[in-house]
Structure 1
Amino acid sequence: MSDSVIALKDVNLSLQGNAGRVDILHDITLDVPRGTSLGLIGPSGSGKSSLLMLIGGLEQASSGSVTVLGRDLTAMSEDALARFRRDNMGVVFQSFHLIPTMTALENVATPLELAGHRDAFDRARAELEAVGLGHRLDHYPAQMSGGEQQRVALARALAPRPAILLADEPTGNLDGANGQAIIDLLFGLSDRHGATLILVTHATDLANRCDRVVRLTDGRIDEPARKAAE
Structure 2
Amino acid sequence: MPDAVIALKDVTLSLRGNAGMVEILHGISLTIGKGETLGLIGPSGSGKSSLLMVMGGLENASTGSVDVLGQDLTAMNEDRLARFRRDHMGVVFQSFNLIPTMTALENVATPLELAGHKDAFDRAAAELETVGLAQRADHYPAQMSGGEQQRVALARASAPRPDILLADEPTGNLDGANGTAIMDLLFGLRDRHGATLVLVTHSNTLAQRCDRVVRLTDGRVDDTAEARAAE
* Bucket of the pairwise TM-score, normalised by the shorter protein: over 0.9
Q: Secondary structure, in 3 states, of the residue corresponding to 1:161?
A: coil
Shift of 1:111: 1.2
In structure 1, list runs of 5 or more residues that go unmatched.
none
Gaps (5+ residues) in structure 2? none
* Separation in 2, partners of 1:70, 1:104: 34
Q: Distance in 1 between matches of 2:212 and 2:131?
A: 25
Please report how far the alpha carbon of residue 227 of structure 1 lies from its aligned counterpart in structure 2 after TM superposition: 1.9
Alignment-derived partner of residue 23 in structure 1:
23
Quick one: distance in 2 between partners of 1:2 and 1:224?
18
Which residue identity lines up with residue 225 of structure 1 in the other structure?
A
Could you tell me which residue of structure 2 aligns to residue 179 of structure 1?
Answer: 179
Q: Structure 1 residue 225: deviation in Å? A: 2.0
Match of 1:58 in 2: 58
Query: Does 1:100 pair with 2:100?
Result: yes
- Give the deviation of 1:228 after TM superposition: 5.2
Q: Determine the structure 1 residue equivalent to 2:142.
A: 142
Partner of 1:225: 227
Give the AA of the match of 2:143.
Q
SS of residue paired to 2:160:
coil
Aligned counterparts of 1:158 and 1:227: Cα–Cα separation in 2: 25
CA deviations on 1:45-69 (whole Å, 9 max, x unpaired) are: 0000000000000011111100000
TM-score (ref. length: structure 2): 0.97
- Structure 1: which amino acid aligns with 2:113? E
3-state secondary structure, aligned to 2:30: strand
Indicate the SS of the match to 1:156: helix
1:128 matched to 2:128? The reply is: yes
| CA deviations over 1:165-194 (Å, ceiling 9, x no partner) | 000001111111001000100001111000
Conserved in 2, the CA contact under 8 Å of 1:41 and 1:201?
A: yes
Contact 1:87 1:115 in 2 (8 A): yes
TM-score by length of 1: 0.98
Whole-Å Cα distance in 2 between the matches of residues 2 and 14 of structure 1? 31
Aligned partners of 1:167 and 1:198 also within 8 Å = yes
Note the aligned Cα RMSD (angstroms): 0.8
Per-residue deviation at 1:141? 1.0
- What does 1:1-230 correspond to in 2, within 5 Å? 1-222=1-222, 223-227=225-229, 229=231
Mapped to 2, the partners of 1:187 and 1:117 lie a distance apart of: 25
Which region of structure 1 is more displaced relative to structure 2, 157-166 or 133-142?
A: 133-142
Is the Cα contact below 8 Å between 1:24 and 1:218 reproduced in 2? yes
Q: Distance in 1 between matches of 2:230 and 2:21?
A: 32
Deviation at 1:226, TM superposition (A): 2.5
